[in-house]
Amino acid sequence: SWRKLRSGEKKIAIGPRSAIFSPTQDLGIIILDEEHDNSYKQIDPAPRYHAREVAIMRASMTDSVVIMGSATPSMQALEMTKKGKAVLLELTKRHESAKLPEVEILDLKQYTGAMKGELAVPMHLAIKEALDKKEQVILLYNRLGFANYLQCETCGHIPQSPECSVSLTYHKRKNQLICHYSGYSRKADTNCEKCGSEFLSEQGSGTQKIEEQLEELFPDARVLRFDRDSTSKKGAHEKILDSFGAGEADILVGTQLVAKGLDFPNVTVVGVTDADTELAFPSFQSSERMFQLLSQVAGRSGRGAKPGKVFIQTRQPDNEALKFAQKHDYNGFADSELDFRKALNYPPYSRLVKFVLKGKNESQVRVSAFKLKSVLERLVPDFDSLGPSPAAIAWMNQYYLWEVMVKLPTDRGGNFIERLLDKVMEVYEFESEISTNIVRININVEAIR
C-alpha cells in the first residue's frame, strides 16, 4: 500500500491515526472522521503526536484542506473556529429529518432496592416494551469483564496485579483475572491468596455480567456482546454487527464501541447503565468525554421512522454535562466547558505538557519528580505547573510512575516549546544526582489526560 500511494497508483489512503503519514501524491484533502476521538492521540511509544495537529501542519505544507467531522467536536477544534482558523459548517437535521430521541435521566439513588439487575425499573420496562414490538435495543456499559473485581468476604482482600497498582478484572467466561494495563493474567482464585478463605464474592459489574443478567431478565431475547474481548478474533467485529443489523439479535450490549457511528433503524431504545464511570476518570476532560460518549450513543436511537428513547442511569443527576446531553445541547455544553477551561487555563487556552517519570525505586522517582518541578519553577516561573504527584496508575509493569505538568501559552510556536523543553532537560540532567538512565522521563506535548 505504501509503495502504491507513493507511486501515485493509489490516490486514497484510509486508516487509523498513522495513515496521516501516508506518502500520498498531490494531496488535496485530509478528512478526520470523528475528530473528537481520543484515539487520534499517540500516547506510547514516541512520537507522541496528535493526528489532528499533524494533519493541519501537513495541509499547510501542501496547500490542501482539512475536514474535521464530528457531532461533538473537541474543544480544541471548536476554539479554532472561534479564532477564525477554521470554518464551522453545521448539519442542523438528522438523516431524512428523523427526530432526536427523548432522553430520560434515572437517578439510581431513587431506585435502591428496586433494580432489575443493573437496570432501573423504567429502563427495564422500556426494553421489555421494545422487545414486545420486535424492536431492538442497545445498552452501553463502559467496563469490560464480568465483575470489576473479586473480593474476599472474610478479610476483604482484593487481588491486584503484581506488576501494577490496580485491581485485577474478573472475566467469568475465561475464568481469569486480567490486568488491562500491563496485560498480566492468571486463572481466577478459588481461595483468598491472603487468608485462604474460600468465600470470594464478585463485586461491581461489567459487560459480561450485564449480558448474563439480560439473558435471565429476557429469556426469549437474543443478546450479543460487543466489546474488546468479544471482538478479539479476526472478523468478529464485522460478524457481530452484521448479525445485529440483519435482525438476528434483539439486544446489543457493549462498551464505548457501541457508540461509534452504528446505524440500525430498528433500534428504538438505548440505555446507559452507569454514566458515572466517565466522570470518575481523573482528567480535566472527564465532562467532555462523558458528554461526547452520551451524545454519540444516544444518536444510535430512533435513526429510522420509529421514534427513539434514551435512558441514562447515574447517581449524579444534577451534573451539568448530563443535563446538556439530555437536551442534545452541544453548544450550551461547549460554552460552559470552555468557560471552565479558560478560568483554569486548561487546553485549548494552554498547551499541556506532561512529564512522566518512571523507575523501579519509588524514592528515586519521587526525588526526581520534585527536582524537575524545581527546575520548571525557575525556568518558567510565569507558567502554571501541576504536581509532582503519583500517576493515576502509580505502578505499572514493575515501574513507579510520577507526573509533573506545565501549562504553556498557545501564542508561542513549536520552536519555542522545543527549545524550552531542551533547556529544562539540560538543566535537570546537570543538577540531578539521579541519572535519566535510572529514572526515565517521557515528555508528552498536547497531553489529553
| Domains with residue ranges and CATH for the chain | 2-70 (no CATH), 95-145+205-341 (3.40.50.300), 351-445 (3.30.70.600)
Which pLDDT does position 162 carry in this prediction? 82
> What pLDDT shows up at residue 298?
82
Task: Give pLDDT, residue 256.
Answer: 79
> Would you state the pLDDT for residue 57?
92
Beta strand pairing status for 440-445 and 351-359? antiparallel
DSSP 355-384: EEEEES-HHHHHHHHHHHHHHHHHH-TTS-
Burial of 354 (0-12, 13-18, 19+ CB in 10 A): buried
Residue 104: the pLDDT is 94
Of the candidates 293, 275, 321, the residue with the CA atom closest to the CA atom of residue 36: 293
Determine the Cα–Cα distance for residues 59 and 53; give it in Å rounded to an integer. 10
pLDDT along the chain (449 residues), means of 10: 89 93 92 92 87 94 94 93 92 75 90 87 95 93 63 82 75 79 82 91 75 93 86 84 90 84 84 81 83 86 79 90 93 95 91 93 94 91 86 84 90 80 92 90 80
Q: Quick one: pLDDT at residue 148?
A: 67
Per-residue confidence (pLDDT) for residue 139, from 0 to 100: 92
81: cell is 473556529
pLDDT at 205: 62
Report the pLDDT value the prediction gives residue 154, as an integer from 0 to 100: 85
pLDDT of residue 449: 53
pLDDT value, residue 61: 93
DSSP E strand stretches across 122-226:
136-140, 149-152, 169-171, 176-178, 185-187, 200-203, 223-226
pLDDT for the residue 169: 81
Beta strands 223-226 and 251-254, pairing class: parallel
> Given this model, what pLDDT does residue 145 score?
46
